[in-house]
Structure 1
């Protein structure tokens, strides 16, 4: 029987369609396209009346279902996205958070499975999680967790991805054996289990745990053997087996497994490109250079058509460039150099985490040198190459500087946070009995000095430094001394002038308030400066940086993010696997 259920698009089966469309039930209409294949637009002969009926009767749950079906049977990706948006609108109008979450998963699945737009997919999956937090539908929860794990996996967060896949695969495996479920639910859980298994294998392979990956591959191959319902999943396990054989230098075995994978794989250009790469590399290792280049060129055809590339595939262009360099074919060398630059640009955009870690035999410096040689043999395309090279260098510099700046800010914030968690932060290096006894001076009598220091200690502890219009004369009067004695004691025991002493206390105090009281994080820098009695925004920022080692804007940004993450983590604690254990 043809299943139109899928792990990416959960489209329930339908029932009966009669002659009079106006009098039919919704289930009756849907029965007519039950066995249609995905992307078969002839299904719209029934879906369109379904949509019109639901709109007319304002039956939003049914309209939601109709648009889900429309996504599945639409042929073009743009139409799928359009119908996914309509599905989301109907879900909101139905008032069901479960439907809203499902609609977001649906849209994210189009971005991921059909368009390989991981950033867009992640946005949709995160929204799906938001609306599924209170659901009792565990299948929906673990389905969302799976999709979040897939995006994390592709972006290179392998440990985080594993924390999502492990509970998901346990749930799907258990439910796939639940005899109380409908056969289609069992099928969906089985599909979820096999897809999760594939993703876990990818994680272990990328982490270098080939022994664990091999044991899981063998499980996947056994469970998909001679099973027509899971042909696509079997192609993934064959692909993984081929990659493992290549790693073990069993090149002919690798070719055999990868070719089997390609023969079963349907509509997955990303993994097909991986198959072609390792078939080509295996032929290269066996000395079959012509066959290797043929496979490498197939990858370029996929890249041209899809405008997508995995970081792992980048090596394909380095191999092609080397091949044509050895052949003294400057024209093709230039062409594949241009393709490599284009690939790097896309990788930088979609794989910000993985891109810096990808081994670059042809880094920017090498490309610049090669470009100079190639320009002599090929005058065309010069400006295009220069533009791409400059863009690549500029982007790399900007990203590197931003990364370094954020790293330093984070380190300084962590250091300051540690200080703030100490209750003595505001009164750090305050006046104490110890330094009163140790210090000596001939200018102020010891008895008067001790009394004055005790008063200054209380002045700090009571935070009297926040008084408006505080001057040294005013404070001297409050402490029953004179400004000369007061100035001398502050300078001797704190090593600073009165104005700097008071400013230091006020900056530390406002820093503590920013850390402890969320309301202060919404103040403008000007307002914070005013709170400290500092005239200008710039002066406040400079003083804050001088005392704390970090700008107030950066401190506020990091503290807000920390509080948001803390709130998110608290809300995720009740969902197994969505947060890693500490």
Structure 2
């Protein structure tokens, strides 16, 4: 069945295009309220409210008196909602004229989208589609995602008209849930229309969930109009489910609300009567069904509001009067059916032909292009990632082989160290080794030789005394004490820092820091190789035992002295011990 039910749609969708630059100008004019206050009052009023036109006129008057071009444009937008088709189009033409040189990215798409809505409200679906297509074109050119969304939503309702309910549901679902372009009120309106589309494609559980959500939210927010919109849709849900009495109970409440003080639109009036008539027909209460269907015909004659379900209305009336042998009424409704059917057929054929050609095909081509670009990007990304993986793999292989080569080298150094320990070649200087250095100074009597080895300011006796103290320092493992400095050691052996530094540099061939580190590491090499218990301690504890402040200082000093990492040295000790 073809449908064109846009629940609460076009006054609200018009509001969706609303783009007021709300300046809070408080001037002493005849209209004391600000633009923002007037806009809020206008757009919060139900469609067709008698005060709407007065509000819009005051708004435009205020804008013109202040020569505010932006607000003059908004005044034309507001006024076009309050007029019939010719006058509404005139206001939109004025909007087009005043925004001709506008730099805002909402123009000119906004004009065509609003014109599309006007034509839709007045059942000129051909012109509606033409303007929606133009609006979509300009929205895409300006990159206005919100307007693109509005065009898609509007065109989705035309798809609904020609029976493409699943496509309609897809679009409405996307914009109701998956975008940030809509505020919550707008999303609620989309959900209402989505529930209707779900009923058409027989997704009854999904439809019911959305309707119940809409009823609860509108009740909570005291939105009486929206509550009855949802209640009317619940009536259609029960009608579709063949729960005719439940449908009637809710729809009678809607009838009372929509026909009181002009609360409803012509869409509300027609579809409330339509569902009531069909529900009574479902209960086989033909007289009541006919009563409502005749009321629909009267409204159509008055408003010229034509929609696809009118075929069902006139078919029922024709059959009813045929059964009752009322030829006059039968002929009348046959004539009415033919006139309505001609309009519907013309619209249907045009929309069915133009939608695929001017909307679906370009959208598919765009989708194809997007997919192609995405695949190209993915392909490029794949090659980039593959290249990076290959490079990283080669680097890894290179690093691995370098590591293996280094590891082999480190192992050899560690093994040589262990062998030297076993052969007593690594460790403290013996007393004999110390004395072997001194005779060169004491026996040769060569002052020039002496000057090369040590400063003239340090006598031979002092040098020997310092070397003797250093021998004691080494043999008693005093270098393991924490916090040893050149000054503290000089004080301990009763000399000064300068003499001690010169002696160490001359006879040990290194500065004090290196001398101290070498003693500690040589000690560690020996003890780790020979003392299994000491070797079992954790590295931080071993470092502390050797006089280091932390583990890192110890491990760095070990590698610098030996040429192999501590971890490999320890591993090789264990390997050689287990052999």
Normalised to the residue count of structure 2, the TM-score between the two structures is 0.53
Question: Following the alignment from structure 1 to structure 2, what is the Cα–Cα distance between the partners of residues 136 and 565?
Answer: 16
Alpha-carbon deviation of 1:320? Answer: 0.9
Question: Following the alignment from structure 1 to structure 2, what is the Cα–Cα distance between the partners of residues 346 and 99?
Answer: 33
Question: Following the alignment from structure 1 to structure 2, what is the Cα–Cα distance between the partners of residues 562 and 159?
Answer: 14
* Residue number in structure 2 paired with 1:336: 333
Change (3 A) 1:64 1:126: same
Alpha-carbon deviation of 1:100? Answer: 2.1
Deviates more, 1:35-44 or 1:208-217: 35-44
Question: Following the alignment from structure 2 to structure 1, what is the Cα–Cα distance between the partners of residues 57 and 166?
Answer: 47
Change (3 A) 1:86 1:99: same
Change (3 A) 1:568 1:70: same
Choose from 248, 251, 260 the match for 1:258: 251
Change (3 A) 1:561 1:279: closer
Choose from 75, 84, 109 the match for 2:117: 109
* Residue number in structure 2 paired with 1:42: 54
Change (3 A) 1:136 1:561: closer
* Residue number in structure 2 paired with 1:80: 88
Q: Given that residues 18 and 29 in structure 1 are in contact (C-alpha distance below 8 angstroms), is that contact kept between their aligned partners in structure 2?
A: no
Q: What SS does the corresponding residue of 1:228 show, helix, strand or coil? A: coil
* Residue number in structure 1 paired with 2:105: 97
1:7-43 deviations in Å (ceiling 9; x for gaps): 323554674554347xx99x94675675355553333
Structure 2 counterparts to residues 384-463 of structure 1, below 5 A: none
Q: Given that residues 102 and 128 in structure 1 are in contact (C-alpha distance below 8 angstroms), is that contact kept between their aligned partners in structure 2?
A: yes
Q: What SS does the corresponding residue of 1:97 show, helix, strand or coil? A: coil
Matching of residue 71 in structure 1 with residue 80 in structure 2:
yes
* Residue number in structure 1 paired with 2:547: none
1:420-447 deviations in Å (ceiling 9; x for gaps): xxxxxxxxxxxxxxxxxxxxxxxxxxxx
Matching of residue 9 in structure 1 with residue 15 in structure 2:
yes
* Residue number in structure 2 paired with 1:154: 161
Alpha-carbon deviation of 1:204? Answer: 2.1
* Residue number in structure 2 paired with 1:326: 323
* Residue number in structure 1 paired with 2:488: none
Change (3 A) 1:136 1:301: same
Alpha-carbon deviation of 1:289? Answer: 2.8
* Residue number in structure 2 paired with 1:467: none
* Residue number in structure 2 paired with 1:197: 191
* Residue number in structure 2 paired with 1:349: 346
Alpha-carbon deviation of 1:138? Answer: 4.2
Question: Following the alignment from structure 1 to structure 2, what is the Cα–Cα distance between the partners of residues 562 and 263?
Answer: 41
* Residue number in structure 2 paired with 1:209: 203
* Residue number in structure 1 paired with 2:560: none
Matching of residue 225 in structure 1 with residue 219 in structure 2:
yes
* Residue number in structure 2 paired with 1:285: 282
Q: What SS does the corresponding residue of 1:8 show, helix, strand or coil? A: helix
* Residue number in structure 1 paired with 2:138: 131
Q: Given that residues 274 and 293 in structure 2 are in contact (C-alpha distance below 8 angstroms), is that contact kept between their aligned partners in structure 1?
A: yes
Matching of residue 241 in structure 1 with residue 234 in structure 2:
yes
Matching of residue 119 in structure 1 with residue 126 in structure 2:
yes
* Residue number in structure 1 paired with 2:70: 61
Instruction: Tell which has more relative contact order, 1 or 2 (C-alpha 8 A, sep 6+).
Output: 2
Change (3 A) 1:561 1:101: closer
Change (3 A) 1:259 1:568: same
Alpha-carbon deviation of 1:224? Answer: 2.1
Alpha-carbon deviation of 1:195? Answer: 1.9
Structure 2 counterparts to residues 22-33 of structure 1, below 5 A: 28=34, 31=37
Question: Following the alignment from structure 2 to structure 1, what is the Cα–Cα distance between the partners of residues 154 and 267?
Answer: 17
Change (3 A) 1:156 1:85: farther
* Residue number in structure 2 paired with 1:473: none
* Residue number in structure 2 paired with 1:269: 266
Structure 2 counterparts to residues 166-177 of structure 1, below 5 A: 166-171=173-178
Larger Rg: 2
Q: Given that residues 270 and 310 in structure 1 are in contact (C-alpha distance below 8 angstroms), is that contact kept between their aligned partners in structure 2?
A: no
Question: Following the alignment from structure 2 to structure 1, what is the Cα–Cα distance between the partners of residues 41 and 203?
Answer: 42
1:87-136 deviations in Å (ceiling 9; x for gaps): 12323321333132223222222222x32332222222222222222556
Deviates more, 1:129-138 or 1:313-322: 129-138
Alpha-carbon deviation of 1:570? Answer: 6.3
Question: Following the alignment from structure 2 to structure 1, what is the Cα–Cα distance between the partners of residues 371 and 302?
Answer: 43
Deviates more, 1:42-51 or 1:254-263: 42-51
Alpha-carbon deviation of 1:146? Answer: 1.9
Matching of residue 163 in structure 1 with residue 180 in structure 2:
no
Question: Following the alignment from structure 2 to structure 1, what is the Cα–Cα distance between the partners of residues 281 and 220?
Answer: 32
Q: What SS does the corresponding residue of 2:251 show, helix, strand or coil? A: helix
Aligned residues: 351
Question: Following the alignment from structure 2 to structure 1, what is the Cα–Cα distance between the partners of residues 329 and 117?
Answer: 37
Q: What SS does the corresponding residue of 1:348 show, helix, strand or coil? A: helix
Q: Given that residues 9 and 106 in structure 1 are in contact (C-alpha distance below 8 angstroms), is that contact kept between their aligned partners in structure 2?
A: no
Question: Following the alignment from structure 1 to structure 2, what is the Cα–Cα distance between the partners of residues 563 and 290?
Answer: 48
CA RMSD of aligned residues (A): 3.9
1:423-473 deviations in Å (ceiling 9; x for gaps): xxxxxxxxxxxxxxxxxxxxxxxxxxxxxxxxxxxxxxxxxxxxxxxxxxx
Question: Following the alignment from structure 2 to structure 1, what is the Cα–Cα distance between the partners of residues 343 and 294?
Answer: 19
Alpha-carbon deviation of 1:564? Answer: 6.3
Question: Following the alignment from structure 2 to structure 1, what is the Cα–Cα distance between the partners of residues 58 and 360?
Answer: 51
1:189-226 deviations in Å (ceiling 9; x for gaps): 22221221122222222223333322332222222224
Q: What SS does the corresponding residue of 2:209 show, helix, strand or coil? A: helix
Q: What SS does the corresponding residue of 1:310 show, helix, strand or coil? A: coil
Alpha-carbon deviation of 1:299? Answer: 0.9
Question: Following the alignment from structure 1 to structure 2, what is the Cα–Cα distance between the partners of residues 169 and 301?
Answer: 36
Alpha-carbon deviation of 1:50? Answer: 3.8
Alpha-carbon deviation of 1:83? Answer: 0.7
1:553-572 deviations in Å (ceiling 9; x for gaps): xxxxx9x9999677655688
Alpha-carbon deviation of 1:338? Answer: 0.5
Structure 1: stretches of 5+ with no match in the other structure = 176-187, 356-402, 411-557, 575-582
